[in-house]
């Protein structure tokens, strides 16, 4: 027996909850209004990457990568920043880690039998603001992106990577305007089939 879910509806935010004086937008405000929190900042970074490559597919929580480009390139996105949504004694040190992982196969309804690196391209997004007065996650010029292909990331074997290591592995960071080109270059023009 299979319990395949239907596609999710396209919500506008105006949909009311039954038995509650609230709508979907009220839930979004409750759960995701602070774009500085770690999980929401990660979703925002994925959204920025999706916009850069022109992806029109939705984010799927259990997919073994975060964004699928229109040409089929599978992209994993990691995010970090110097500032957090809580009081800090000093700026955070951006650290990223990517390790081999099991992938969920939604058509089979099962996890892969071995851990692998599941994306073609890895994007390490950095929110660069260093004071709360300047921090605006909606200003794409405050974001920088390190981009690498799978082979370069696999060579790190799951090691923690700071900005110096990222620069060595990925090359110089690019601004949002250069992100689409950097992803295409890292993918080598050959999307996963």
pLDDT at 127 over 80: yes
> In terms of pLDDT, which residue wins out, 36 or 110?
36
Q: Which residue has the tokens 């929580």?
A: 61
Identify the top-confidence range among 85-89, 124-128, 155-159. 124-128
- Give the least confident one: 39-48, 105-114, 122-131: 105-114
Residue 192 falls inside a structural domain: no
Is 69 within 8 Å of 54 (Cβ atoms)?
A: yes
Residue 29 falls inside a structural domain: no
pLDDT at 193 over 70: no
Residue 31 falls inside a structural domain: no
State both tokens at 52. 């850069």
pLDDT band at 5 (very low <50, low <70, confident <90, very high): confident
Other CB atoms within 10 A of residue 46 CB: 22
Which residues fall within 8 angstroms of residue 54, CB to CB, at 6 or more apart? 69, 70, 180
Residue 21 falls inside a structural domain: no
Residue 167 falls inside a structural domain: yes
pLDDT for residue 2: 65
pLDDT at 192 over 50: no
Identify the top-confidence range among 106-115, 153-162, 169-178. 169-178
Residues 80, 96: Cα–Cα separation, whole Å: 7
Q: Which residue has the tokens 């950095």?
A: 126
Residue 163 falls inside a structural domain: yes
pLDDT band at 178 (very low <50, low <70, confident <90, very high): very high
pLDDT for residue 190: 45
| For the chain, percent of residues with pLDDT exceeding 90 | 72
Which residues fall within 8 angstroms of residue 154, CB to CB, at 6 or more apart? 100, 117
User: What average pLDDT does the chain have?
Assistant: 90
Residue 14 falls inside a structural domain: no
pLDDT at 134 over 50: yes
Residues 80, 91: Cα–Cα separation, whole Å: 12
Residues 56, 68: Cα–Cα separation, whole Å: 9
Q: How many domains does the chain have?
A: 1
Residue 82 belongs to what domain range?
Answer: 36-187
pLDDT for residue 1: 60
Average pLDDT over residues 100-122: 81
State both tokens at 152. 């370069």
pLDDT at 189 over 80: no
Pairing of strands 143-149, 174-175: antiparallel
Residues 163, 92: Cα–Cα separation, whole Å: 12
Residue 28 falls inside a structural domain: no
- Quick check: helix, strand or coil at residue 52? helix
Residues 56, 157: Cα–Cα separation, whole Å: 31
pLDDT for residue 122: 96
Which residues fall within 8 angstroms of residue 103, CB to CB, at 6 or more apart? 64, 111, 112, 116, 118
What's the pTM? 0.89
* 177 φ, ψ (degrees, to nearest 5): -60, -25
């Amino acid at each position: 027996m299979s319990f395949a879910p239907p596609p999710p509806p396209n919500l506008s935010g105006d949909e009311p909850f039954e038995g509650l004086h609230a709508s979907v937008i009220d839930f979004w405000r409750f759960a995701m209004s602070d774009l500085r929190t770690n999980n929401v900042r990660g979703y925002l970074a994925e959204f920025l990457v999706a916009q850069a490559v022109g992806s029109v597919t939705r984010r799927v929580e259990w997919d073994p990568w975060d964004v699928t480009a229109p040409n089929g390139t599978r992209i994993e996105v990691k995010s970090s920043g110097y500032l957090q949504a809580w009081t800090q004694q000093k700026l955070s040190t951006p650290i990223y880690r990517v390790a081999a992982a099991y992938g969920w196969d939604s058509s089979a309804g099962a996890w892969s039998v071995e851990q692998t690196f599941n994306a073609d391209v890895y994007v390490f997004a950095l929110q660069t603001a260093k004071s709360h007065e300047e921090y605006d996650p909606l200003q794409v010029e405050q974001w920088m992106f390190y981009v690498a292909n799978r082979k370069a990331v696999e060579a790190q074997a799951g090691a923690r990577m700071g900005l110096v290591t990222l620069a060595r592995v990925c090359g110089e960071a690019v601004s949002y305007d250069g992100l689409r080109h950097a992803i295409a270059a890292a993918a080598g023009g050959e999307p996963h089939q």
